[in-house]
Each structure stands twice: as C-alpha cells, then as structure tokens.
Structure 1
C-alpha cells in the first residue's frame, strides 16, 4: 500500500506522531511518503526564537525530497495566514505520489480541507486524526457563541471535510466527545486511537551507571524522590504548578522531594520554576536521552494538558500524576493518580502519597506493561492499517 502522511510541520529528532508513524508504516512493508512544510514544529509561535530555536535551529529549513530509512520526506515551501499553514504544491505532490491512502493530523486545517476537496479527483482514501482535548478546547456556551462557532467552522470547510474523510481517529475519549458533539461527526465515523510510544527506545530496561551519574550531575541524592516534567514551559502546560507543589512540600519539611523540569520556556517562565525550592531546570534533550531522564526520576507529573510524554514515562516504569479534568481513565488506571486541577496543595498531597518505593515500582510495572501491549507504534500502525484495509476492500 502506498501511504501519504501530511503534516503542517516537521522537525528531526522529535518524539511526535509525524516522526514515528511514518517509520512504523514503513517497517510493516508499505511505501510511505511524509509531506510537510518547510517549517519546524512551533515555527509560528511568537516566542520561537527564544524557546525553540536553541534546540531546533532556524524556523524555516531547506525544501526538497529526503530519503529516510523507512519513508521519504517531502518538504515544500509554505506560508502562514490567520487560518493556518498552507503547504504550496500539495496537489502536485498528490499527483506525483499517487497514494492509496492519505493520513492527516487535525480536522480544521487548511491542508485537510484541500485534501478533502481533492479526494474525488485523485481517488484515495482519506483519514484524519484529531487531538481536540477538552484541556485546549473552549466550546461555545450560549446561543450567540454557538451561532458564531458554527459560522466559523463552516467558513473553515468543516462540511466538506466531514463529507470526504473516510474515518476520523480521535486520540482519546474526550476528543471523541468533542468532535462528535461540537463538530457533529457521526459516532460510527470515528475510531478512538491513542498516541503511541517507541517501545524500542522507551522501556523499563535501564543502565544503573548512567542513571546514577545523571542524578549526581543534577544534584540529587540517593534518597531523593524526583518528580519529572518534560516538554514546553508555558501557561497552557503549567509545569509551574508542579514546582510550587515541590516548594510547598519543602516548606512542610519533606525536603527529599525534588522537581526536575526538562524543556524550555520564556526566560520569565523558566525563572519562576528555577526560583522554587527543590527544583532543577535543564534544557530539552534528544529523544535518545529521554529514557535515561525518566529512569533517573521516580514520578512523572503533567499538571495540565495531555502529552505523549506521559506515555513515554509510563513505558519507562514511572507512576504518573495528572489533573482530574483528564478523561482517559483506562490509560492511567492502576498506574496513575489525579489531583484537583490547579490545586498546588492537592498535587503535593498526591506526590506525598507516592513516598513508598514499592508502591511506585508496582504502579510503574502496570504502566510499562500496558504501554508495551496497547500503545507501541507498531501496535498502533497495525490497528490503523486494519482500518485502511477494511475500507479498501469495500
């Protein structure tokens, strides 16, 4: 099968679906083409130069066709407008590749609308993922805003997209709820399909020497219980809530609890975290080094928005703490705890409840086993391929 994956942007050496899904399809023997813009991830962010450029480089990169181990990367010129990113020459690329299947990553995007319009002409199957979590989606609350909402999504081409996408893949239960209720997509047109983990890289096997060396380098002692957050340092992600919880624990005399923050934000946000007692901030690291970061930690905490890093940490054997607005109970049952959203003291109490090493190990084993069984990229790719093939044979 010839599969084209279309992503608005792409960066090398990141841990996102556009990095791993093409590889997973390719390893299963399919011809895979990833078509994207000349933009790095988050290139349109106003603080790109401050936050992301030190790790990723210039926001725009070289266009061209680049052969990877398991897929072919196509980078086209692009421009950005208030409605999103436009990948130039996308129709020409569809004509050139002649895909059997096209897969894209969000519903209300300009690229998705164009692919929906081109579907009849080029006769491919079209599949669309969605990550419209409740943590980032603000639904209309009254009749005026409902009317305004519907006008906006119609102008963005939602009816055309719904008519032409063969199946939607919401990545979680709350996403399924949002796109069926507010986008009015039929339930039987959706299949819940979580994000996944590169389990060859992220797993519970670790090197004691590397782990102990990293803990020493970060200033952690043998008895410290390290709570790790990885990702962007922004108000939307709110890692500061974890930093404040660690400081609160220190104020109560529980000084062996430490916070480790791996990533980057604005200088102002970084400094807020750094000023909290017991907290260590370090820049983004490569995906290859992230497993060692998780193995050197004891608890994974993501205070606000969902993140694929939660699954990575689970795969490495960490118990997870998330806020109580997250819907995905099945994923975290037995391997995670929930705290009251935004409540620093309640988060501190939940961290304190994981003081026992045996409990953390037990919960970590549940999580790592679940990831290997249900959330590997190979398992996810096979599941999606079954959906592709079922419609191909119709």
Structure 2
C-alpha cells in the first residue's frame, strides 16, 4: 500500500529555547524513518536554527521548509504598555522563495529590535508590507483567529481571517490541530465552518515540541526550568497532553481523515516552498564608488591618502593633489617610504585577490562616519589585525610598523 503523504508545517526545535526539546539532527533522523520527504521549521520568534535545520535535512534527503512562528500585536508593535486590546497572537510564516526569505528576516529582526515588549512582536501593517513570498498559517490556540473562536466571537474571527487572507494574497491557511484538547475540537469545527464560508483553505498540523511521545516527560521538566518551577508545583505551566510529538503521516491521516483537503494541503504548501541557501558565496553589497572609478582603485586612493596623513616621511605630499604614481616613484628613492608602500601594495593585492575590497570600503565608511560625528570606536583590531590598510583607512588606530607587527618584505626598493 502506498504511504500517505504528509508534511509537518508547524514544528519547534531546540532553538525554541526552553520550549522545545527536539535536536535538529534527531528530528531529521526520525522524519527519515517515518518516510517524510519534506518538513518545516517554525521556531518561536527566531531563525537561529534555520541553517542547521537546512543542512541536516539535506543530509537526509529531505526538503527543508524554512519558517518561523511569529508574535503579532493586534494593534501596533510600537505600543509598549499593558493594553488588552493590543494582545499578542501567534502566526506561522513559511518561506516560498528568496523574496520570502528576505522578508521573513526583516520581520523577525524588526520584531526583536523595534517591536519587543516581553516578546518580539510585529503587527498587521508591517506584515502587509513584507508578505511577498510567504505563506501564513493561523497557528495554534494562540493564533488570532482561534482566540476569537474561544471567545465565541465567530464574526470577529471571520473578520481577522479575511484580513490575513488580504495581507497574504490568498496564501493564508486556517490550521486545525488535535492534541486531545476540547478547545481544539471547538476551534477545528469553527475553522471548518469558516473555511466553507470564506474559501480560506484548511491545513492540518501537529504542534511539534519534542520528537517521540515518551519525550513528553523530559519536555515537562524543560517547562519547569523555563518557568522556574518544580514538577511538584500544582500551579505550574504544563502541556495538556503527550501529543505534541513528531507524528507519522499515518497518524495524521487517521486523525483528520474526515477533512482530507487539510492533509493534502500540507503537500501542496511544501511544493510551493522552494528556497535554497547559497553557501560560500559572498553576500557583501557593492560599495557605491565615485563615477569613473573601480572599487579597487578607490580603495587604493583612500589608503594612499591615509598613508601621507599618518607617516611623516610623506609630509611633502600633504596639501597636494593625490597621485599614487608620484608616491610610488618617491618610495623607490627613500628606503623608509619604500617599506610603507611595499607593505601597502602587498596587502591591497591580497585584498583584491580575496574579493574583500567592498568589505574594507564598507568598514571604512561607517568608521569614518563614527569619527566624523564624535561616536567612540575601539582600537579596531578585528580580523585585519596588524594591517597597514586598516591603519591608513582609519579602521584601526594601531600602527603595525611602529609595533613591528610581522610582515616579510619581498624586496628592498630604495637606492
């Protein structure tokens, strides 16, 4: 008998800190055992685990789907006070393509930097402006649509569902789950009704927080650590069942056989998600250089300008139009000048060869801005410690020749 297909689209890994226990590599081994050909990562508010998840999935021949379960403020991420009308709800976002990945990074970063209030939050307006390339799922009982179902406010749930449908241009799905909870049965019934009335499709998920059913006990201890409680505390937070594990396709089909399209939609969504990382490829932006100049020529020009400003041996070139050729010719007649020029030329050649010209120009630009605006900077050792390029650019304040930092001269050009 042909195995039924199912893709887990709501899954938390060890990177949902103190909330999920499944290690990425172990998740992939289990998914492989269960015959799955695709799986998603949707950690709470972060994307820390995406690269590890992607690599582990590829190693097992499984298609990785990158995503995140974000927190959405009902009114605005900019409200930083206790406002019940601005309560925070869950929303699952999945990456379809490169644009979606870029947008998800912006969403997650903005949520932590601008929207953080107890949790990293985003809002509807920001989602609307960064929804391209993303698929959204309504999440668990903590989702905004589900929250209104639980309050018996069907019309408000419908209004919010249609809002998300508009935000994501029909790439919005109503989640149905079954962890043995009465609240979920109610929400599932209401979401099925809502789907029929609005045309918003359903998707079946299991809110995975650990790998095997027996792991629920150790996960319970993890919850105690998170909340600083003991297992004997009757009032502590705990999961309501042992069903938050990585279920097999057969188990999922058995639970939701009465709503077949919700199961089939997991495969449909998986087929739409096609993002791949490009590793070992420079992602540096191109630094805008003056018209008529190449980045390497512009870097050389700035370095030689810094050279004559920082070393007295070049004082005759101060307050004159910069000419690299004149400085090089001068160095051939002055041993000390030659030492500086020879080292600078050597470092520039290595930087060109390694493709780091833009890196140095970008770093020079923001350090220069800091210096020009009275913003303190450190000594600037970093990955280019002992570099005369870094010194002439002003990135570092440490003169590599003054402190005899190592450099093997190739020739002596003074006469």
Interval containing the TM-score (normalised by the shorter chain): 0.3 to 0.5
Structure with higher strand content: 1
Structure with higher helix content: 2
Instruction: Kindly name which structure, 1 or 2, has the bigger radius of gyration based on alpha carbons.
Output: 2
TM-score between the two structures when normalised by the length of structure 2: 0.31
TM-score between the two structures when normalised by the length of structure 1: 0.32
